[in-house]
């Protein structure tokens, strides 16, 4: 019995030190995405600002030290936290990916290494209602942030996964790929879709960050044999489709990123189209919360075939 006491004491000390270390503040370098406008017009867009995310277990607070929109809330005010992978390309991997399309009509799958950072969508309660708050978490610290948030907030934290695999294909395999379209991004009207019985809703946003003026290439969204949306940087569109099996493909010039998906009546499906350069855009499925947050800073796409 006497010999076991030092061992037990060592275990207690180790656990105490471990518990103390876990209760300390932890700070992460992040980016905050916020809605801004240059004047009183309805031209809004989403911009990013750097900051520090501070998770404090002892004070039970989440703080984001950034300007112009800092955050300081308690754990109890948090409604939900959703982590989703971004599809922004870092470096030159996109050109390599599209270069492989020439090998055949199916092309190549987009690898996970091309998906670097994480979106962190947070909803919290305040005196005037529930508010969203969006962060971008760098790849090198994403696992640590997610693990920490799960430990502090439990079931309020989720990391959704979608089964659809994105594949790059040749644009000439799509019906109507050579058609031309008139396009205008409307900043005066901002319609929002509602679910309809008997139809599947698809909503797609082509986000931009910090550049509301530049116009890039048009991105055509194909659903089987029809174009159902045409977007550009900073615009969104939606369509209602019959339930069934679809090939959705975002096309720019000679290539398209595509995914096979089964659409059910009465449900909504939400997507981002991230333009990597003038030759390619990545189509990715996300939660309603994240995509509708992007819609707040986007203009409505008016388009028609020429």
Q: Is residue 13 assigned to a domain?
A: no
26-36: strand order across its sheet: 71-74, 61-65, 45-56, 26-36, 129-137, 118-126, 78-85, 157-158
Q: Is residue 4 assigned to a domain?
A: no
Specify the CATH number for the domain of residue 35: 2.30.29.30
The reported pLDDT for the residue numbered 75 is 97
Residue among 288, 85, 82 at smallest CA distance from 203: 288
One digit per residue, the tens of pLDDT, for the chain of length 306 reads 444 444 443 443 344 334 444 558 899 999 998 776 554 444 445 677 899 999 999 999 999 999 888 999 999 999 999 999 886 543 334 444 444 444 333 444 444 344 568 999 999 999 999 999 999 999 899 999 999 999 999 999 999 999 998 899 999 899 888 889 999 988 888 999 999 999 999 999 988 755 545 567 899 999 999 999 999 888 999 999 999 999 999 998 888 999 999 999 999 999 999 887 666 788 999 999 999 998 988 889 999 998
Residues 208, 244 within the same domain: yes
| Phi, psi angle pair for 13, to nearest 5° | -65, -45
The reported pLDDT for the residue numbered 178 is 84
**Apex CA 14: angle with CA 11 and CA 18, to 5°?**
140
Residues 149, 199 within the same domain: no
The reported pLDDT for the residue numbered 154 is 97
Residues 30, 146 within the same domain: yes
| pTM across the whole model | 0.83
Residue among 77, 269, 100 at smallest CA distance from 169: 100
The reported pLDDT for the residue numbered 86 is 82
Q: Is residue 96 assigned to a domain?
A: no
The reported pLDDT for the residue numbered 7 is 45
Residues 294, 171 within the same domain: yes
Residues 58, 39 within the same domain: yes
Cα(123)–Cα(85) distance, rounded to whole angstroms? 18
Q: Is residue 14 assigned to a domain?
A: no
Cα(198)–Cα(265) distance, rounded to whole angstroms? 5
Q: Is residue 101 assigned to a domain?
A: no
Q: Is residue 184 assigned to a domain?
A: yes
Residues 253, 294 within the same domain: yes
Give the domain extent around 126.
25-90+114-158
Q: Is residue 254 assigned to a domain?
A: yes
Q: How many domains does the chain have?
A: 2
The reported pLDDT for the residue numbered 280 is 79
Q: What separation in angstroms does the CA of 124 have from each of 46, 49, 128, 208?
A: 20, 20, 11, 25
Q: Is residue 194 assigned to a domain?
A: yes
């Amino acid at each position: 019995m006497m010999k076991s006491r030092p061992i037990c004491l060592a275990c207690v000390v180790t656990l105490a030190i471990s518990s103390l270390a876990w209760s300390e503040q932890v700070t992460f370098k992040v980016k905050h995405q916020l809605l801004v406008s240059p004047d009183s017009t309805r031209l809004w867009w989403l911009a990013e600002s750097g900051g520090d995310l501070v998770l404090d277990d002892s004070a039970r607070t989440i703080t984001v030290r950034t300007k112009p929109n800092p955050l300081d809330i308690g754990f109890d005010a948090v409604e939900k936290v959703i982590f989703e992978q971004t599809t922004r390309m870092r470096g030159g991997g996109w050109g390599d990916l599209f270069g492989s399309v020439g090998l055949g009509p199916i092309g190549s799958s987009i690898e996970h290494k091309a998906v670097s950072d994480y979106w962190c969508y947070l909803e919290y309660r305040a005196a005037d209602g529930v508010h969203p708050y969006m962060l971008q978490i760098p790849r090198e610290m994403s696992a640590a942030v997610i693990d920490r948030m799960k430990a502090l907030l439990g079931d309020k934290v989720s990391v959704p996964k979608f089964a659809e695999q994105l594949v790059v294909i040749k644009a000439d395999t799509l019906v109507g790929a050579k058609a031309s379209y008139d396009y205008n991004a409307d900043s005066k009207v901002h319609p929002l879709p509602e679910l309809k019985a008997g139809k599947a809703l698809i909503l797609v946003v082509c986000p931009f960050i910090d550049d509301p003026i530049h116009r890039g290439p048009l991105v055509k969204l194909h659903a089987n044999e029809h174009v159902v949306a045409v977007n550009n940087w900073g615009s969104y569109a939606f369509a209602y489709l019959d339930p069934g099996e679809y090939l959705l493909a975002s096309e720019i010039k000679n290539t398209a990123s595509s995914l096979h998906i089964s659409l059910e009546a009465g449900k909504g499906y939400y997507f981002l189209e991230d333009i990597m350069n003038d030759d390619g855009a990545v189509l990715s499925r996300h939660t309603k919360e994240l995509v509708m947050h992007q819609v707040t800073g986007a203009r409505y796409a008016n388009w028609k075939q020429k």
